Amino acid sequence: MKYVLLALLMATPALADEYRATGDLGLIVERATGSLVVVDQSDRAAIGRIEGLGDLSHASLVYSPDERYAYVFGRDGGLSKVDILSREIVARVLQAGNSIGGAISDDGTLVAVSNYEPGGVRVFDAKTLEMVADIPTASKTIGLVDAPGRRFVFTLWDKGETWIADMKGAEPAITKVTGMGTNPYDALLAGDGRTYITGLFGEDGLTALDLWDETPEPIRVLPGYGRGEEELPVYKMPHLEGWAEAAGEFVLPAVGHHEVLWIDASDFTETGRTQTHGQPVFAMARPDGRQVWVNFAHPLNDTVQVIDRMTHEVIHEMKPGPAVLHMEFTPRGHEVWISVRDENRVDIYDTETFEKLGEVAAESPSGIFFTARAHRTGL
């Protein structure tokens, strides 16, 4: 009897995996094939694939607090809940025509999606994906993040407003902040959930909000800084989300310039600029804030530069390959994973020695998301 049981167990992959912890897992978006590769960060290896997720160009995802489920936000308006242990889609809704990003509430019970078509934010029960709130905005919405206190914060492209939706009660309680600027195109929330910064497409500078303020007011950041009179060509608008705070400074990719900007996190004054290889797309601080890693827009997107937080100088440059789209640090920052789309590969580097430690195969990889994000605010 015992022998039979053993044989059966070994034939059943699910049971062989019975004790799979989830703290060091992750998902890589395969944009062309609408699939996700499940990876083990400690083993530097792919361990499975989840398919059937629709249009994953520009897709992002968030994790449930137990680090078992991911909520995947597809460009086609699809919201999918996947189980990274069983590697199945457990729920999926087509909730809008065109969407851009989402967030999960601090208690893990609500998932919100930001939509272009129709505009607005829709909020879903994290267990079932039933819609629990619909927040029309009569505008494209961008920069949706979760904030402490069961709140979502998002910004209206057409109206230049930021809305704070408090979801503690039966109905969303909305605080509207006007005057955020012309055509905010993306935003970030600092890791402590206090400072929200929007980038502007329609005018120079950025706009910050102090969410600890009872009545937050727009704070102009670098009002004289922008594309300038030359109207430089912008190959790709930079992303603002990600780890952008490093030891008391924010580091932001400049729009249309070959540089990143450093801003004092307490008073929003400029503290420096660093010339870079190309137009930055992501400027991401290593979790300890000591380094900032930058990738670039087409046609210079084969390169990554590393900037030292203390000196603001480029200390390392590497060329992982054509179309570096995203970078993800291990939670304590000792390694970084870099997606090289056109070589169907994710490279893994040591962040101290810059030595390449391994690689994982993936079809046209874009975003890389480790489960540790479940425990962070605003990611």
Question: Should residue 42 be labelled a site residue for a copy of itself when binding is judged by CB under 8 A?
Answer: yes
Contacting residue, 52, 54, 118, 148, with a copy of itself by CB under 8 A: 148
Q: What three-state secondary structure class fits 376?
A: coil
| 211, 196 Cβ separation under 8 angstroms | yes
Structural tokens at position 352: 């101290």
Contacting residue, 51, 117, 134, 192, with a copy of itself by CB under 8 A: 192
* CB-nearer residue toward a copy of itself: 129 or 147: 147
Question: Should residue 272 be labelled a site residue for a copy of itself when binding is judged by CB under 8 A?
Answer: no
Of residues 319, 363, 327, the one with CA closest to residue 345: 363
* Torsion on CA atoms 216, 245, 147, 83, rounded to nearest 10: 160
Question: Should residue 24 be labelled a site residue for a copy of itself when binding is judged by CB under 8 A?
Answer: yes
Question: Should residue 68 be labelled a site residue for a copy of itself when binding is judged by CB under 8 A?
Answer: yes
Query: 310 vs 26, 248, 294, 343, 371, CA distance in Å?
Result: 31, 11, 16, 34, 29
Phi, psi of 146 (to 5 degrees): -90, 145
* CB-nearer residue toward a copy of itself: 298 or 375: 375
| 282, 238 Cβ separation under 8 angstroms | yes
Question: Should residue 242 be labelled a site residue for a copy of itself when binding is judged by CB under 8 A?
Answer: no
Rounded CA-CA distance 103/198 in Å is 16
As measured in angstroms, the least distance from the Cβ of 211 to a copy of itself is 10
Question: Should residue 371 be labelled a site residue for a copy of itself when binding is judged by CB under 8 A?
Answer: yes
As measured in angstroms, the least distance from the Cβ of 209 to a copy of itself is 15
As measured in angstroms, the least distance from the Cβ of 64 to a copy of itself is 8
Radius of gyration of the chain (CA): 21
- DSSP-assigned beta bridge partners for residue 292: 285, 307
Q: What three-state secondary structure class fits 216?
A: coil
Please choose, out of 9-17, 130-138, 156-164, 296-304, the segment that lies near a copy of itself by the rule CB under 8 A: 9-17
Question: Should residue 66 be labelled a site residue for a copy of itself when binding is judged by CB under 8 A?
Answer: yes
Q: What three-state secondary structure class fits 13?
A: helix
Please choose, out of 51-59, 176-184, 224-232, 333-341, the segment that lies near a copy of itself by the rule CB under 8 A: 333-341
* CB-nearer residue toward a copy of itself: 130 or 352: 352
Please choose, out of 101-109, 200-208, 219-227, 232-240, the segment that lies near a copy of itself by the rule CB under 8 A: 101-109
Q: What angle do CA 166, 171, 173 make, to 5 degrees?
A: 35
Question: Should residue 106 be labelled a site residue for a copy of itself when binding is judged by CB under 8 A?
Answer: yes
* CB-nearer residue toward a copy of itself: 22 or 98: 22
As measured in angstroms, the least distance from the Cβ of 181 to a copy of itself is 25
Question: Should residue 41 be labelled a site residue for a copy of itself when binding is judged by CB under 8 A?
Answer: yes
As measured in angstroms, the least distance from the Cβ of 75 to a copy of itself is 27
| 181, 171 Cβ separation under 8 angstroms | no
Rounded CA-CA distance 211/215 in Å is 8
120-125 and 35-40: which strand pairing? Answer: unpaired
Question: Should residue 334 be labelled a site residue for a copy of itself when binding is judged by CB under 8 A?
Answer: yes
Peptide bond into 118 cis (omega under 30): yes
Structural tokens at position 31: 């944009």
Contacting residue, 62, 85, 206, 252, with a copy of itself by CB under 8 A: 85
Q: What three-state secondary structure class fits 341?
A: helix
* CB-nearer residue toward a copy of itself: 127 or 227: 127
* CB-nearer residue toward a copy of itself: 8 or 94: 8
Question: Should residue 218 be labelled a site residue for a copy of itself when binding is judged by CB under 8 A?
Answer: no
Binding residues for a copy of itself (CB under 8 A): 1, 4-5, 8, 14-15, 17-25, 41-42, 63-68, 83, 85-86, 106-108, 148-150, 168, 192-194, 212, 247-248, 265-266, 287-290, 310, 330-335, 352, 371-372, 374-377
